[in-house]
């Protein structure tokens, strides 16, 4: 009897230990979280943790080498803007819900891990550079307006990159489409992506039609977009339909409301009224 009780107690202790290992670390540049920089939160995180980043423009270079989730608050509100090359480097883990750009070099350099539901744009060099001889997964991302030489993405030799439901479009050279959308030395698997009108790509279900973004800075798909319900058939949006291509598609699509209008009124008595209009994608 005592042996069974001891075994049960040991199991409970082990389960409790497993649960407490997964933490959520808050990054808020205004100082209301535990950390004011993304890198500080990443450095403090252990495998299995989530680093949640509150809205703001984070002018820093981020390096991720642990199996963690780094989660922004939507590309509309959470930006990593770096003067370094690359803005983000990752060999493990998962990065989601950011806008990422580099003024001097690459947006994201990947030697592993998963980049999902991010917008990588306005980079001086490649928006996405898969390198290091390992495997990288890029899913439901938008790569636009990077690298004046034409290529939005690069896959180096001995490296495998899998692009799923991505929209790779509009380089700064042509401003309409990315003629050399993916510069491939290694292996690129492109599944149900929009890849411009003449780039080098291999895979299944790709199209070269204009994705019909709402605007040059709003990556919502217009009602007639060929990217709606055109993603990988066995991947679903949060509403249960076949996944869309791009930022608002796939199982990791942001489901929180996006504020489209915010007004703050100061009353004569010193109180404040706040009016907000928000749009939910699902």
Q: Is residue 233 part of a domain?
A: yes
Residue 140 in tokens: 């439901």
Q: Is residue 117 part of a domain?
A: yes
pLDDT of the residue at 177: 45
Q: Is residue 53 part of a domain?
A: no
In tens digits, what is the pLDDT along the chain, a chain of 282 residues?
A: 445 545 444 444 444 445 557 899 999 999 999 999 999 999 999 999 999 999 999 999 999 999 999 999 999 999 999 999 999 999 999 999 999 999 999 999 999 999 999 999 999 999 999 998 788 999 999 999 887 666 788 888 888 899 999 998 865 444 444 444 677 778 888 899 988 655 556 689 998 888 999 998 999 999 999 999 999 999 999 999 999 999 999 999 998 777 767 788 788 887 888 888 777 666
pLDDT of the residue at 5: 45
Q: Is residue 43 part of a domain?
A: no
Nearest alpha carbon to residue 131 among 153, 98, 102: 153
Phi, psi of 178, rounded to the nearest 5 degrees: -100, 100
Torsion sign over Cα 113, 195, 218, 224: negative
Q: Is residue 80 part of a domain?
A: yes
The domain of 113 spans 60-254
Task: Indicate the pTM of the whole model.
Answer: 0.85
Q: Is residue 26 part of a domain?
A: no
Q: Is residue 161 part of a domain?
A: yes
Distance CA 117, CA 212 (A): 18
The DSSP letter of residue 194 is B
Give buried/exposed letters for 39-71 (b at 16+ CB in 10 A, else e): bbbbeebeeebbbbbebbebebbbebebbbbbb
Q: Number of folded domains in the chain?
A: 1
Q: Is residue 46 part of a domain?
A: no
């Amino acid at each position: 009897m005592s042996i069974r009780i001891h075994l049960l107690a040991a199991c409970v202790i082990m389960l409790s230990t497993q649960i407490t290992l997964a933490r959520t670390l808050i990054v808020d540049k205004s100082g209301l979280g535990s950390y004011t920089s993304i890198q500080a939160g990443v450095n403090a995180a252990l495998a299995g943790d989530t680093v949640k980043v509150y809205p703001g423009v984070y002018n820093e270079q981020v390096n991720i080498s642990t199996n963690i989730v780094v989660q922004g608050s939507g590309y509309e509100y959470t930006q990593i803007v770096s003067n370094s090359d690359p803005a983000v480097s990752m060999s493990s883990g998962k990065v989601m819900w950011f806008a990422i750009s580099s003024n001097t070099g690459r947006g994201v350099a990947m030697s592993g891990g998963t980049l999902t539901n991010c917008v990588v744009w306005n980079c001086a060099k490649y928006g996405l550079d898969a390198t290091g001889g390992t495997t990288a997964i890029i899913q439901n991302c938008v790569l636009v307006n990077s690298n004046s030489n034409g290529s939005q993405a690069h896959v180096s030799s001995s490296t495998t990159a899998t692009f799923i439901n991505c929209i790779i479009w509009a380089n700064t050279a042509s401003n309409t489409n990315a003629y050399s959308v993916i510069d491939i030395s290694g292996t690129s698997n492109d599944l149900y992506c929009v890849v411009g009108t003449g780039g080098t790509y291999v895979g299944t279900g790709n199209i070269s039609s204009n994705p019909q973004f709402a605007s040059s800075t709003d990556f919502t798909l217009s009602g007639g977009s060929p990217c709606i319900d055109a993603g990988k058939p066995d991947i679903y949006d949060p509403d249960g339909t076949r996944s869309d291509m791009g930022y608002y598609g796939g199982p990791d699509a942001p489901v929180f409301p996006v504020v489209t209008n915010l007004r703050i009124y100061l009353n004569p008595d010193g109180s404040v009224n706040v009016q907000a209009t928000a749009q939910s994608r699902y």
